[in-house]
Structure 1
């Protein structure tokens, strides 16, 4: 059975996203750089998961870039025409983790918009999952409260596909508007990251998640 969701990366976010997709009943393909790590991840996920090395044929109609911002451009180049006709989901937060005090993207753009420029219309780009963290994705909730997933993109059809995956996994999709809203989603996480690493906020940690009430 071909995978419906292809996740690029084999780290903690890749694991959380894969478990979320499997919870939604979607078969998952994991493509990573480290063959051993990728294999271990696939085996731990069990039924519905398959894997390979980046460069292998992409199966999923949804391609999620579960890599740090500094790796996004290289991964998109390596995928090449493997993303053609698909929905590419950028989850990156371009935060300078040496200071947690600035974004690495130039003013007036975002990581997701940079991806859109790179794929040059060959794929639809959506921003999603940058406001949730790996451990919280695994369950889809924190303290009994479901997670909100903010989704930005210029294609309504592409956003609907990502929203359907989110909803099926038990979380709430929120349409944040066009792809340029990625700038605000990424900038907000600069604030959140700063709070998480600050000793003044000991109750904030990497399990922090965002939800709008009601």
Structure 2
């Protein structure tokens, strides 16, 4: 019985047949990435031919890596190019000219797949462009450069979560390479012409490019709130001991930063609405800062979720009457007077029961945290792809503002009793009041833009309506000129049709009849003149 583990995962219809009637695909190079590609192609059902400058030395070397490569043939580069129509070029860009320049005739009409990457960003030309200049008669395709050698060899996942970007000036070649990638278990993203190769090579060199600004902004906001909290708690008055600065004190700016960042996640959409109302169109580009801000909303929201999670964990660890004295009922014990005391001694003792403020604040906070976690889960690509547009928009737009409202309510419940006792000046300077100013502004703007006049106006703009086009109505003089031009066109049409036996009213066309001397509109509103009266 044949061992099923040695059978290919997929069978392909033969196009370019190699040994055994299977499709033959060539690989130029015998390095780590070339070996990973050859393993994947072999297990997928392709016949692999590897081209090397020293084929005899490399063939024995490859057998040491894996038993999967026992059927891979290693030959010279020229022989590999002759036997295969689709070839992976798995060598460094610096070796393109030295290794392949002499094979210009052999690569005529061949599909060469460039899998290389640059070492530095902002290059004037892509590696694929360089390969096309070295071998102008070949069809160059940029693909697989975003797939690592480890992912290429990981057959357990079949590459289901990995995307292969494909770019080439030849649509047939793009389709061919896309079919190969799909048979290997990858998802294909067609990026069009070879100009996209610069983007593909630049993409793999970016390191958290969308996270830098949100992280630095969050770090700055956290430092500002921390300085204010330290000033209030230690400089202005000694409210806490210095030993409490690591958890009890820093938990306050952590919560304030989370509230501020969450508000900054939804504020740019309202600023964009103001710009669209001012411009009267959606076709005018936003300023650079707003464009970057809008693209960073996902990162800001996830950072806010992370800060809230840390705040919840810290608050849970400190949940006791010692840290949150105002949340618990206080019972007093009075010692009666005796010979050593002239008056009774009153000792406050905290019980384990939480008062209404603590209960309500915890309830609202738990709801806000759970819903915020649900919103964060929809940011995961696999989860977001399972939702349609209406479901995703309902969670990310409507539910997110409800979470912001719950977060503001959570802080208000905690701070309202203190605001009532402290007076207006103390309320304005309190950290709870200051932390909700920006979120309240965002909620207020949301309410304003939900009002029917503005809501309908913005909706028209975002559906393509433009204020300048609507206001440029024709004047009375323009209308009069249009009428004159139409009358001249009718007179000219009458002169051209004079004497013809055409009737648009269903008349019998007998001479002398004068049943119709008007006109009827055709199917496409073309005026057809009736000539019954002139016959």
**TM-score interval for Structure 1 and Structure 2 normalised by the shorter chain:** 0.7 to 0.9
What runs of 5+ residues in structure 2 fail to find an aligned partner? 1-17, 210-380, 386-535
Alignment of 1:22-101 (within 5 A): 22-35=42-55, 36-41=57-62, 44=66, 45-46=68-69, 48-58=71-81, 59-95=83-119
Superposed CA offset, 1:28-64 (max 9, x none): 1001234323443267434642111333352111111
Aligned length: 188
CA offset at residue 152 of structure 1?
A: 0.6
Q: Distance in 2 between the 1:84 and 1:78 partners?
A: 12
Superposed CA offset, 1:102-148 (max 9, x none): 24x842x211011112222x221100011011121012565984321
Q: Which residue of 2 aligns with 1:155?
A: 170
- SS of residue paired to 2:146: coil
Inter-CA distance 155–144: structure 2 relative to 1 (3 Å threshold): closer
Q: Is the 8 A contact 2:26 2:86 kept in 1?
A: yes
Between stretches 78-87 and 40-49, larger displacement belongs to 40-49
Q: Distance in 1 between the 2:159 and 2:149 partners?
A: 17
Inter-CA distance 143–15: structure 2 relative to 1 (3 Å threshold): closer
CA offset at residue 158 of structure 1?
A: 0.2
Q: Distance in 1 between the 2:30 and 2:190 partners?
A: 27
Query: Which one has more relative contact order, counting CA pairs under 8 Å at least 6 apart?
Result: 1
Q: Which residue of 2 aligns with 1:14?
A: 34
Inter-CA distance 130–144: structure 2 relative to 1 (3 Å threshold): closer
Q: Which residue of 2 aligns with 1:189?
A: 204
Inter-CA distance 27–143: structure 2 relative to 1 (3 Å threshold): closer
- SS of residue paired to 1:190: coil
Between stretches 24-33 and 43-52, larger displacement belongs to 43-52
Between stretches 42-51 and 13-22, larger displacement belongs to 42-51
What runs of 5+ residues in structure 1 fail to find an aligned partner? 96-101, 195-211
Q: Distance in 2 between the 1:139 and 1:150 partners?
A: 19
1:166 aligned onto 2:181: yes
Q: Distance in 1 between the 2:80 and 2:160 partners?
A: 37
Superposed CA offset, 1:61-93 (max 9, x none): 111110122212222214332211110111111
| TM-score, scaled to structure 1 | 0.77
Inter-CA distance 129–193: structure 2 relative to 1 (3 Å threshold): farther
Q: Distance in 2 between the 1:192 and 1:65 partners?
A: 26
> Radius of gyration: which is bigger?
2
Q: Distance in 2 between the 1:143 and 1:160 partners?
A: 20
Q: CA RMSD in A?
A: 2.6
- SS of residue paired to 1:81: coil
Task: From 111, 129, 133, give the equivalent of 1:113.
Answer: 129
Q: Is the 8 A contact 2:168 2:174 kept in 1?
A: yes
Q: Distance in 1 between the 2:94 and 2:207 partners?
A: 19
Q: Which residue of 1 aligns with 2:245?
A: none
Q: Distance in 2 between the 1:183 and 1:141 partners?
A: 31
- SS of residue paired to 1:154: coil
Q: Is the 8 A contact 1:10 1:31 kept in 2?
A: yes
Q: Is the 8 A contact 2:167 2:190 kept in 1?
A: yes
1:125 aligned onto 2:164: no
- SS of residue paired to 1:16: helix
CA offset at residue 169 of structure 1?
A: 1.2
Q: Distance in 1 between the 2:194 and 2:156 partners?
A: 26
Q: Distance in 2 between the 1:34 and 1:154 partners?
A: 33
